[in-house]
Every structure is written in C-alpha cells, then in structure tokens.
Amino acid sequence: MESVRGNEAAFADLYRQTSQQVYNTALRLLCSRVHAEEVTQEVYVQVWQQAGGYDSGKGSVLSWMRMIARRRAVDRIRAVASANVRDRQAALMNPELEFEDVWDDVASRIDARRVRPALASLSPVQREAVTLMYFERRTMKEISIELRLPLGTVKTRIRDGLISLRRTVDQTGTPDAQSRKTSMLAPRALSRLARSS
C-alpha cells in the first residue's frame, strides 16, 4: 500500500482493480447512485491521503477500503437524515413566510401578479431560501449559517425553487415584457448560483 502513496500510476491501478467493489459497498448501504459515487470518490481521496495508515496485519487493502466506504456511507446516511429532520422542522415552524414587505422592494422590476402565486407554490423551505437570497440579498453562505444547514442543501433548495418558480411563471398566461423579465429570473439566478459555488 505504501507504493500507492504519491504514485499516480500505482493509484490508478489500485482504482481500476477496486473501484467497482468499493462503489458496490457504498451503493448497498445508500441505495442511491449519486451518493454512492460521492462516497466512492471520498474513499479514494482518503486512501490517497492516508495510504500510510493501512495496516496489512488487519486485513487486505480491499477490506480496508470497504471499511472506509461503510463508515463514510453511514456518515452520509446520518447527514441526510439529519438534514431531512431539519427541513421538516423548518417547514413546521414556518408554514407561511411573510413576503409582503419583499414585494414593495421589487414591484418596479417584477410583475407581482404573476410571481406571487408562483412563489406561493414553492415548498416553505424553498420559498424561505429563495426569499432570503433574491429578495433580502443574502449570500448562500449567510443563508447556510442563518438556517444552520449545509451549503449544498441551501444551493439545492434555491436551484429547485427557481426551477419550480420559472415553470409556474411560464405556465401562467401569455408573455409580455414584464413576464419575459420574470421568466428570465431562473436562468439568471442559476448562473449566479453556479458562480457562487
């Protein structure tokens, strides 16, 4: 295992030989390809950084890597469960966000008759994140700190909220100059989301 440390060719060979087994270990626990891929990547980063920590007296390299995958998968399950609990609690604590004051500030730029129903159609947690970012001008990091959520969760809520908002606005009537500006909210916001990550 020491030969892998700092040796890209040896590491690539190790990856080719073990990646499917490591991925399958993560997938069995997580039941999500996306999460299993992320955990697999985390395992190989850890192996690259801590190759010297492998003890051949405790088992094979593959067993060591599978153990890392299992631990990381369990951590991921706990993190996702915790985020879901926080989302449910936030939804229960804030069933209806007040956004009357927000509309006073943006009425000159957005046709409120079309956006208000669309914003109301978002889930409470999406509405909260979108309102904080685009109407209260908070950064994603500030929102993450205020809501005590991981930054990735905040980004996902905003992205999903903007996609839903755009879909709803696009379905409500014929486009005019104001509604075209409104329907462009999601692409501009999504590009802002990409730049801030």
Q: Within 13 Å and on the Cβ side, how many CA atoms surround 150?
A: 10
Least confident interval from 39-53, 85-99, 135-149: 85-99
Closest CA to 190 of 160, 152, 159, 164: 159
Quick one: 72 and 119 in the same domain? no
pLDDT given at position 116: 62
Is there a domain that residue 130 lies in? yes
Quick one: 107 and 182 in the same domain? yes
pLDDT, one tens digit per residue, over 51-104 is 888 888 889 999 999 999 999 999 989 888 888 788 777 767 765 544 444 444
Is pLDDT above 90 for 23? yes
Is pLDDT above 80 for 14? yes
Quick one: 108 and 170 in the same domain? yes
CATH number of the domain residue 24 falls in: 1.10.1740.10
CATH number of the domain residue 129 falls in: 1.10.10.10
Which residue, 54, 81, 108, sits at the end of a domain?
A: 81
pLDDT given at position 64: 94
Is there a domain that residue 118 lies in? yes
Q: What is the arithmetic mean of pLDDT over 149-176?
A: 77
Quick one: 77 and 104 in the same domain? no
Q: Which domain holds residue 53?
A: 8-81
Is there a domain that residue 1 lies in? no
- Give the list of residues 6+ apart from residue 147 with CB closer than 8 angstroms, or none: 90, 128, 129, 154
Question: Is the Cβ–Cβ distance between 129 and 162 less than 8 Å?
Answer: no
Is there a domain that residue 93 lies in? no
Is pLDDT above 50 for 182? no
pLDDT given at position 183: 41
Is there a domain that residue 182 lies in? yes
- Coil, strand or helix at 184: coil
Quick one: 105 and 192 in the same domain? yes
Q: What is the arithmetic mean of pLDDT over 120-131?
A: 84
Quick one: 105 and 190 in the same domain? yes
pTM (whole model) above 0.75: no
Is there a domain that residue 18 lies in? yes
Task: Tell me the helices (H) and strands (E) count for the chain, helix number first.
Answer: 10, 0
Which residue, 47, 81, 115, sits at the end of a domain?
A: 81
Is there a domain that residue 72 lies in? yes
Distance of alpha carbon 104 from alpha carbon 19, whole angstroms: 55
pLDDT given at position 181: 43
> How many domains does the structure of the chain reveal?
2
Is there a domain that residue 95 lies in? no
**Residue 118 neighbours by CB distance under 10 Å:** 20
Quick one: 109 and 74 in the same domain? no
Quick one: 118 and 46 in the same domain? no
Quick one: 104 and 64 in the same domain? no
